[in-house]
Structure 1
């Protein structure tokens, strides 16, 4: 592996190269200095870049060797900057370091050199601004305040968190795990009921830009789960930033307000029309940030280890199929696990309820106590069942599959266990076979279908 530093030998690139050399020394990796000829070189008036470039690059290597140890120079022309890492260099690059400014890109290019590198590179790209914070951290003089963008619903967060773990192994880092969330969309995703009549709302949630306390508790849990265990020295704080519009603007607001030294974001590695259609949070952060930015490609994402489920949600319609699913769920989680029983009341014609609300409604008041009593009656009473944590819930919804999916997000379960039967049930809220098929297609959690023999 190696630390790769792209430089055009400008003063800004010299500062980035110093950071790259210190980083290589800290990680015990060699430094590859890629000289990119993108215009007139310093001190070479009237000379062709290819005539003066090798000598200047060698001089820069000589300056960095006392710090980094092993430094290898490579000279590249500006024509190949989009893919200027060879296949071999790409495979062995641990990190790419580049100055955020000082690049003389032609006017027809909208993307800067750091943006193009983050789009094509196969390793994390560190765009250096205000290098003093990184230099002091690498010299052991201070902690680094790192803000990492975390989205519980996006796989790019896994790559950013993987890089964050490596950063904390290199030195002490305080972490701001920041999630930019839309309060309205989160209420819908989690199915947390919030009426929108202003006269009905509590004063604390009357502002629709504020996070509902119930939503906030779930989001804190989801971000912590996404982070996992972070080894190393330094505190970890979850920051929930409610907002609408471009997430990059809100991330930059938090970074500025909290005085972050480095911003870490994951990338989708989209190109062409995909990047134009979906936009890019990482490009927006990279372009407008005041501090250094690290863009982490999805290839750095570590696969999550397969573990036995410790929490299972069971949709219940009080049929024999539900009883078999409950028995299966209890066996899966084992002692100390959790089983959540959910009954979805399918709204019928003539029932009066709020239509302007977010999320599912609770069970009808006249049926709620009876339903909860029946759910608790399905909990086994033997000694083995007492070692399992049980919880029950009844909700009302027009779309049964959506109500179940929302409950899995609220509860944060590892698995959904649904029973099916070829025989039609006489229960008014029976789960039809189509519900199991829709769950497999729509639910973000693994789904186990338990047939009735």
Structure 2
């Protein structure tokens, strides 16, 4: 499935937000809700629980959709759940999946019901800790063809959880000759426009000789928003250093999976950037 932002796609987007029901997931939940409002889509809030958990779950432990919408000034305190779709044009569903293996269970759900965008909170892990414990967010994202938005625990992202306001001033997109990038650039521009951030600048970063930087094609109306940057040295440090200099609100990475057998310990380029840059990262699979 493909995430399409714009009035012609109202109701067609399915955004999935797996949650661990902790406060660490609140930032990711705010982003998932704001993006659902922007595309007038369907938000599925999913928790994979112990298989022996009570089959009649306490739904109050799930993120509070109406309380957050009320905090954002979009609905009043007495608005019934059924009125959200009518007033705001979105659908929201909460689902508890009893499962011994959360990744397998969530993967089956995505396969059965579809997903246009995953929104995930992730915990930064590196080296041996990552090899031993892994990251559910990263493992799940590898199993789907849908774009995945990662929110690191130390980063604030680009949606204010208190107000719902989006702030996308700078978007960093690393580009190279081996990975198709036009879809990633197009999605970044569409996402910023849908969130009301039409002035967001897109910084195309090439790590390597400047004369080898690939061409990126966008609609003529977006040309003025593009900026081109160059860095030398290794790819991941180059991206991380550029992020510190440009201060992007979002990094968008076109990705086609793991690069070699060392990635079990080292992680893919996208995962390394996610852990080291401390920014929201949108991974866009190349199919």
TM-score, normalization by structure 1: 0.47
In the alignment, which residue of structure 2 is the partner of 1:120? 143
- Superposed CA deviations along residues 312-343 of structure 1, whole A, max 9, x for unmatched, are xxxxxxxxxxxxxxxxxxxxxxxxxxxxxxxx
Q: Does 1:15 align with 2:27?
A: yes
In the alignment, which residue of structure 2 is the partner of 1:71? 92
Distance, in Å, in 2 between the alignment partners of 1:166 and 1:38 is 38
Distance, in Å, in 1 between the alignment partners of 2:23 and 2:223 is 33
Describe the SS at the equivalent of 2:219: coil
Distance, in Å, in 1 between the alignment partners of 2:192 and 2:255 is 20
Q: Does 1:164 align with 2:191?
A: no
Aligned equivalent of 2:226, options 218, 230, 236: 236
Describe the SS at the equivalent of 1:93: coil
Q: Does 1:37 align with 2:49?
A: yes
Q: CA deviation at 1:135?
A: 2.9
- Superposed CA deviations along residues 371-423 of structure 1, whole A, max 9, x for unmatched, are xxxxxxxxxxxxxxxxxxxxxxxxxxxxxxxxxxxxxxxxxxxxxxxxxxxxx
Distance, in Å, in 2 between the alignment partners of 1:269 and 1:91 is 23
Gaps of 5+ in 1: 40-47, 184-215, 300-453
Q: Cα–Cα, structure 1 residues 50 and 272, in superposed 2: closer, same or farther, change >3 Å?
A: farther
Q: CA deviation at 1:116?
A: 1.2
Describe the SS at the equivalent of 1:134: coil
Q: Does 1:256 align with 2:268?
A: no
In the alignment, which residue of structure 2 is the partner of 1:95? 117
Q: Cα–Cα, structure 1 residues 71 and 277, in superposed 2: closer, same or farther, change >3 Å?
A: closer
**Pairing 1:257-296 to 2, within 5 Å after superposition:** 257-270=245-258, 273=261, 275=263, 280-296=268-284
1:8–1:38 contact (8 Å) kept in structure 2: no
**Pairing 1:13-412 to 2, within 5 Å after superposition:** 13-37=25-49, 49-50=53-54, 53-57=57-61, 60-63=64-67, 69-76=90-97, 77=99, 79-82=101-104, 84-86=106-108, 92-101=114-123, 109-129=132-152, 130-131=155-156, 133-135=158-160, 142-151=167-176, 153-170=177-194, 171-172=197-198, 173-181=200-208, 183=209, 216=210, 218-219=211-212, 222-223=213-214, 225-229=215-219, 231=221, 235-243=225-233, 245=234, 247-270=235-258, 273=261, 275=263, 280-299=268-287
Gaps of 5+ in 2: 1-12, 75-87
Describe the SS at the equivalent of 2:160: helix
> In terms of mean alpha carbon deviation, does 10-19 or 76-85 score higher?
76-85
In the alignment, which residue of structure 1 is the partner of 2:7? none
Distance, in Å, in 2 between the alignment partners of 1:11 and 1:51 is 23
> In terms of mean alpha carbon deviation, does 85-94 or 168-177 score higher?
85-94
In the alignment, which residue of structure 2 is the partner of 1:213? none
- Superposed CA deviations along residues 261-284 of structure 1, whole A, max 9, x for unmatched, are 111111112488485599621121
Describe the SS at the equivalent of 2:184: helix
Distance, in Å, in 1 between the alignment partners of 2:121 and 2:266 is 26
Distance, in Å, in 1 between the alignment partners of 2:39 and 2:122 is 22
Q: State the structure with more CA Rg.
A: 1
Describe the SS at the equivalent of 2:244: helix
Q: CA deviation at 1:16?
A: 1.1
In the alignment, which residue of structure 1 is the partner of 2:81? none
Q: CA deviation at 1:228?
A: 3.1
Q: Once superposed, what is the RMSD of the aligned Cα atoms?
A: 3.6
- Superposed CA deviations along residues 173-213 of structure 1, whole A, max 9, x for unmatched, are 211111111x4xxxxxxxxxxxxxxxxxxxxxxxxxxxxxx
Q: Cα–Cα, structure 1 residues 231 and 72, in superposed 2: closer, same or farther, change >3 Å?
A: farther
